[in-house]
Amino acid sequence: MTKHVSLKTVSLKTHPEYCEKLLQDVISSDPFILGIGDVVLREKERVQPGAGRLDFLFQDADGYGRYEVELQLGKTDETHIIRTLEYWDIEKRRYPQYEHTAVIIAEDITSRFFNVISLFNGFIPIMALQLTAFEMPEGLGLHFTKILDTIRLGYVEEDEDAGEPTDRNYWETQRGTPRTVKLADDILNIVKEFIPSAEQTYNKYYIGFKVDERPCNFAICRPQRSGMRLEIVLDQSEDITSKLDAAGIDLLDYDKRGGRYRLKMQEGDIKRHRDMLRELLGQAYQKRA
């Protein structure tokens, strides 16, 4: 019979031996334990002009996501929340080319402050991680629980402005070219193999799909002058990313807020990767359905 071992939780804030510096060192050496993804440490104790120091700045290992992380032992308080948002805003203004997420870590995120943090979510991408420390014979164990995650954006047809109708001529003359709009036609032909009733919809910011006369944007096309961007609504996974890399598809950074893989398509790419594109588009449609 397997022996059950009780874990002894400890408060790092009141512990005579453990301190915030020790916790910072552990997180710096192994950022993966936070559970926010495959990130690398850009800087620790990053100086903010006129606003103190940011505990951690992490960046996606293979993308343009950055995370402004503030660490607090004990309970969250007003100062901690304000400082987290302030650092997030400073970094976002200095480096707007990245997708920034504010991250609060504390041992106790009380219901009151959880409600306050939740009010910002949707307007400011913010995560809240609750830290639990365990004292064991081998040393200190740390567990991070994500109790608030960033809100994923809705499907594009839910945005009235994005859904503003246009026509094919608009895309061929103002946004793309007849050649690049033809790439969107090629994607539609693939979709029709498993959704015979699928049709294109021409909107101001994208060419989408409708099924049985209803918007169904499990993927969208954005023809440009030099090619076309295909965005497929799928959860990010190592398996999909590895397949795309192995196939040699031009993979842009993953859109975390929209939950979309973004692929750069040129003439010949769709024919060359037809089977894989059909598989991914089919998965996205099933997920949406």
Enter the DSSP assignment of 150.
P
Amino acid at 184: A
CA distance 154 to 134: 39
C-alpha distances out from residue 260 to 30, 86, 87, 221, Å: 27, 28, 27, 12
Q: Which helix (H) or strand (E) covers residue 104, if one does?
A: strand 99-108
pLDDT by 10s per residue, the chain, length 289: 677 667 788 787 888 777 788 888 889 988 989 988 888 899 998 998 877 899 999 998 766 789 999 998 888 888 888 889 999 999 999 988 788 999 999 888 877 777 777 777 667 888 889 988 888 777 788 889 888 877 655 555 444 444 567 899 999 999 899 999 999 999 999 999 999 999 999 998 899 999 998 999 999 999 998 999 999 999 888 899 999 989 999 988 888 777 899 999 998 999 999 999 999 999 999 988 7
Instruction: Delimit the domains of the chain by residue range.
Output: 8-148, 156-288
CATH architecture of the domain formed by 8-148: 3-Layer(aba) Sandwich (3.40)
Whether the Cβ atoms of residue 56 and residue 83 lie closer than 8 Å to each other: no
Q: Is the pTM of this model over 0.85?
A: no
Phi and psi of 186, rounded to 5°?
-65, -40
CA distance 277 to 167: 25
CATH architecture of the domain formed by 156-288: Alpha-Beta Complex (3.90)
